[in-house]
Every structure is written in structure tokens, then in C-alpha cells.
Amino acid sequence: MTQDEYIQSIIKPSNPYLDTLLKEESLRKDVCPSIGPHIGNLVSFLVELLKATRVVEFGTCLGYSTICLAQSLEKTRGKLISIESSPRLVEETKKNVYKAGLAHRVTIIEGKAEEVFDTLPGPFDLILQDASKEIYLPLLNKCVKKLRPGGLLLSDDVLFPAKEVRKRQRELINEYNQALIKHPELTTIILPLGDGIAISMKKY
């Protein structure tokens, strides 16, 4: 048994619909990968740890991360705003979130995160960045500004520079990581889960 299999055998997903979504994702070629079970458990845990009630995510796809976040927001009685640029995926995620019994916790906004985010007042307790790598760096300062002190910016796929992905993606993420690490208002760690997740806390 691998480490991954062992963890998954003893820690069950926070919402039973997450397994259905993972299976669907593995059978489809028209969607990009979700954060998956390990990062999914981590983001759920962090929402509870922070007692987060105001959460936003960029990049919804089929709604795996959306359901992980919303399941914990059920406990904190919070709300998630999820921004997705693909109208087709917005419709699919709406249905999936409904099937997971969490529609009352989530508002899905169709549009480009870099435009929609400007219209959201904040402050936020937690932001999950998992959309196009092109927008990570341009949105960084805006995210920091709208986080409350002690709030978390979670950035997925930050180990792309060490993976076999397109050169452009490696460069974009490397530039982003440098900016995250040097940011005067953030303290950042990177965990090697999935394709890498950065956890950045806005300093008090």
C-alpha cells in the first residue's frame, strides 16, 4: 500500500460527493485537475482552523475544491464566492454543489477572476488561487490587500517549476513564488502535496 492509499483508507472525504467527482474527473479529458484529496483535506482543515467565514476561490472547474471549502463553511456558517471563467463549468459546478448539499454556502460567479475580484469588497479570511497561471502574479497584491490580518492565501500548483509542464507555466510560477516569498506582508511556506501548495499568511 502506498502512503497516499493508506491516508485515503483512513481519512474519508469530508463530503461523499467528492469521490464521485474524482471518478468523473479521471474519466474526462476536457477538464483540468482538481486540487485532489490531500490538498482538499488541507483546505477544509484550514477553513475550520481559522474559523473562516468569508472565503473566495479563483478557478472552480467541476467544483472539487468548492465542495471541500463549502463543507467546512457549513461548520463555521460562512460563505464561499467561487469565480470561474468557463460558462459550461459554472453550470456543471452549480449542479455538483447542489448534489453535495452545499448550494446555500456557495455563490458561483461567471467571469475572469482578475476582473470579478475587483468588484468584491472583502475582507476575506481565506483565498484559494487555482485559476490560470497568468493571473497569479497580477492578482497577488490585490489578494493581500483584501485579506484580513492572519488570513491565508493558498496558491495551488506552486511546484510547477520542478515538474514536467510547459516552460511558460514553469516561468510564471517561479516568478510568482519569488514574489510570494519576498512579499513584506506575507509569511509563506510551500508543502509538496499534489503539484505543490503555498500557504501564505498575511502578517498581523
Ligand X SMILES: C[S@@+](CC[C@H](N)C(=O)[O-])C[C@H]1O[C@@H](n2cnc3c(N)ncnc32)[C@H](O)[C@@H]1O
Q: Select 35 or 198, whichever has its Cβ closest to ligand X.
A: 35
Binding part of the chain for ligand X, among 8-16, 71-79, 109-117, 170-178 by CB under 6 A, reads: 109-117
Quick one: which of 81, 131, 144, 186 contacts ligand X (CB under 6 A)?
A: 131
CB of 85 to ligand X, least distance (A): 4
Q: Select 83 or 140, whichever has its Cβ closest to ligand X.
A: 83
- Which burial class, exposed, middle or buried, applies to 61 when counting CB atoms under 10 A from its CB (0-12, 13-18, 19+)? buried
Q: Select 26 or 182, whichever has its Cβ closest to ligand X.
A: 26
Q: Select 95 or 203, whichever has its Cβ closest to ligand X.
A: 95
Binding part of the chain for ligand X, among 10-18, 70-78, 111-119, 194-202 by CB under 6 A, reads: 111-119
The CA distance from 158 to 139, in Å, is 15
CB of 149 to ligand X, least distance (A): 25
C-beta nearest to ligand X: residue = 59
Contacts (CB under 6 A) with ligand X, residues 50-89: 58-62, 64-65, 83-86, 89
Contact between residue 79 and residue 55 where contact means Cβ atoms under 8 Å apart: yes
Nearest to residue 48, comparing CAs of 67, 66, 70? Answer: 70
Strand partners, 126: 55, 152
Q: Select 82 or 177, whichever has its Cβ closest to ligand X.
A: 82
Residues 110-136: b if buried by 16+ CB within 10 A, e if exposed: beebbebbeeeebebbbbbbbbebebb
Nearest to residue 46, comparing CAs of 102, 123, 126, 104? Answer: 126
Nearest to residue 12, comparing CAs of 34, 40, 46? Answer: 40
Contacts (CB under 6 A) with ligand X, residues 142-181: none
Q: Which residues bind ligand X (CB under 6 A)?
A: 32, 34-35, 58-62, 64-65, 83-86, 89, 112-114, 130-132, 135
